[in-house]
Chain A
Amino acid sequence: KAGVTQTPRYLIKTRGQQVTLSCSPISGHRSVSWYQQTPGQGLQFLFEYFSETQRNKGNFPGRFSGRQFSNSRSEMNVSTLELGDSALYLCASSLEPGTGLTGELFFGEGSRLTVL
């Protein structure tokens, strides 16, 4: 069974630009979550999508947005990049929230964003 796939793995942007990251979940998983990982703040929840609807949202500014497609693939977008947005962005997929197995996340390897 293929794992969670994130693209691109590495990217470099400059301040003010925008970036789009992609995530393909494990087949059959309909919930996709995004996390930001930095040395200073650790792992912080960005948002969760299920059936193309945002189910949960973390405490990030509106520059951070996401969406989910009908095939469960997800994208997240960060507009007007700031130096502080440099981080590893992790995508995680899981079964439906109502299965009783909530919180069992399968993570991808991440997209490492560097903002110059």
Chain B
Amino acid sequence: AQSVSQHNHHVILSEAASLELGCNYSYGGTVNLFWYVQYPGQHLQLLLKYFSGDPLVKGIKGFEAEFIKSKFSFNLRKPSVQWSDTAEYFCAVNVVGGGNKLTFGTGTQLKVEL
């Protein structure tokens, strides 16, 4: 079975600081990779996804993530965070051909201070 690890549980940054959230997965086959975000009081929503092709993917609100197959990693980055990026971020994987079953990491709570 696949698993997902997010190394940072709580991150506090000042506005304009750079962000990198780590995500590693364990699975020997082909996977799709996702980052989902949950803003305070809102529902979980897709931030970006990787299916195939260019390992550097761009999502909404200036976020990007890089898939490094050799490291089983899919780290999320943003060059300059804003107060409105305060949210909980979840990395997730699903097995290609396995339908819509996602395995989520435990989440990273990001707080951006003014």
Contacts and interface: CB of A to CB of B under 8 A. Distances in A.
A and B associate in one complex: yes
B43 A107 contact: yes
A56 B98 contact: yes
Nearest to B101: A56
A103 B104 contact: no
Interface residues of B, number: 23
The A interface is mostly helix, strand or loop, or mixed, namely strand
Contacts of A104: 34, 46, 49
A69 B17 CA distance: 48
Contacts of A4: 43
A103 B100 contact: yes
Interface of B: 32, 34, 36, 43-46, 49, 51, 90, 92, 94, 96, 98-107
Contacts, number: 71
A33 B102 CA distance: 9
B100 A33 contact: yes
A111 interface: no
Contacts of B107: 42-43
Interface in A48-67: 48, 50, 55-56, 58
A24 interface: no
